[in-house]
């Protein structure tokens, strides 16, 4: 069976809109902005490419999988921060995760077969998919949290006590850092956030390099497909005037706890 027949395949602009809408829904207020996610994925389908997201079963025990994500502040930059950022060229803007994959492969002497998403969110799920497309590999249909999470320790790789290091960190200017070892997950996250402060914004992380067997013990499968389906339901309800909350519960499970105005 071909990979495409086993995969979620995003082919159209509507597919991208539905997928990122669903990721944003599961981000529950975190996980990056919907607009940034659309901007990352839309160029691929507009160029006539298909974005294939293979099932977890496509991963073999001897495959290597890396987790790619961004960390840093989502607060709007002040005028002073904008001024400081403009002192340097943004040579690696949008390419941080791709460069991180190269660094980690070279350091470990391996080839990554797949990329995995750290969490579900409008920005942090499309980002590893975009990086995988640019790198010539695929992002697996699953993630390590099932939603967006505020702390790195709140994901399944940490629950399984799997290694975060070595990890590669790259900012949009092109500064590159390789961390060989961390004493715990909290310190690994602090190092990443410290580097994002240095960059006055964000830093790309490529971490949690796992073999296939460990990966399958940690990954939550089929979450990207579920995000796409929920996003599609939301769009259809907006078009028909149906209540999206009620329809999501009906089709995908869950509960409507309360309703009100914001």
Percent of the chain with pLDDT over 90: 85
**Could you give the angle at the alpha carbon of 181 between the alpha carbons of 178 and 187, nearest 5°?**
95
Instruction: Give the pLDDT of residue 1.
Output: 35
Distances in whole angstroms, Cα of residue 115 to Cα of each of 37, 122, 242: 16, 17, 36
CB atoms within 10 A of CB 105: 18
- Top pLDDT among 70 and 1 is at 70
Instruction: Give the pLDDT of residue 76.
Output: 78
Report the distance separating Cα 213 and Cα 210, nearest Å.
Answer: 8
Is 2 a residue whose pLDDT tops 70? no
Residues 6+ apart with CB under 8 A from 36: 122, 123, 126
Instruction: Give the pLDDT of residue 198.
Output: 93
Q: Which domains does the chain have, with CATH numbers?
A: 3-252 (3.40.1610.10)
Residues 6+ apart with CB under 8 A from 49: 133
- Residue 105 in tokens: 């492969």
Name the pLDDT band for 3 (thresholds 50, 70, 90): very low
Q: What is the pLDDT of residues 199-258, one digit of tens each?
A: 999 999 999 999 999 999 999 999 999 999 999 999 999 999 999 999 999 999 999 998
Helices (H), the chain: 3-6, 13-27, 34-46, 79-85, 96-108, 126-135, 156-159, 185-198, 212-218, 223-240, 244-252
Report the distance separating Cα 73 and Cα 245, nearest Å.
Answer: 30
Q: What is the pLDDT of residues 41-53, one digit of tens each?
A: 999 999 999 999 9
Residues 6+ apart with CB under 8 A from 261: none
CB 45, CB 51: distance < 8 Å: yes
Percent of the chain with pLDDT over 70: 98
Phi, psi of 141 (to 5 degrees): -75, 85
């Amino acid at each position: 069976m071909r990979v495409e027949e086993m995969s979620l395949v995003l082919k159209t602009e509507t597919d991208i809109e539905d997928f990122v809408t669903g990721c944003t829904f599961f981000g529950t207020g975190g996980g990056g902005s919907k607009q940034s996610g659309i901007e990352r994925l839309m160029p691929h389908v507009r160029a006539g490419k298909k974005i294939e997201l293979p099932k977890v079963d496509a991963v073999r025990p001897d495959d290597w999988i890396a987790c790619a994500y961004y960390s840093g502040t989502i607060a709007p930059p002040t005028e002073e921060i904008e001024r400081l950022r403009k002192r340097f060229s943004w040579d690696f803007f949008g390419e941080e995760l791709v460069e991180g994959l190269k660094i980690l492969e070279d350091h470990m002497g391996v080839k990554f077969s797949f990329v995995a998403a750290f969490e579900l969110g409008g920005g942090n799920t499309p980002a590893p998919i975009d990086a995988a497309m640019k790198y010539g590999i695929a992002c697996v249909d699953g993630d390590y949290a099932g939603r967006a999470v505020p702390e790195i320790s709140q994901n399944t790789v940490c629950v399984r006590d799997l290694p975060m290091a070595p990890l590669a960190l790259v900012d949009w200017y092109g500064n590159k850092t390789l961390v060989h070892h961390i004493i715990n997950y909290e310190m690994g996250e602090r190092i990443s956030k410290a580097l994002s402060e240095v960059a006055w914004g964000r830093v790309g992380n490529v971490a949690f390099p796992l073999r296939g067997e460990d990966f399958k013990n940690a990954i939550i499968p089929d979450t990207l497909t579920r995000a796409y389906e929920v996003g599609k339901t939301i769009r259809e309800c907006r078009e028909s005037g149906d209540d999206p909350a009620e329809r999501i519960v009906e089709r995908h499970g869950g509960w409507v706890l309360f309703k009100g105005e914001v």
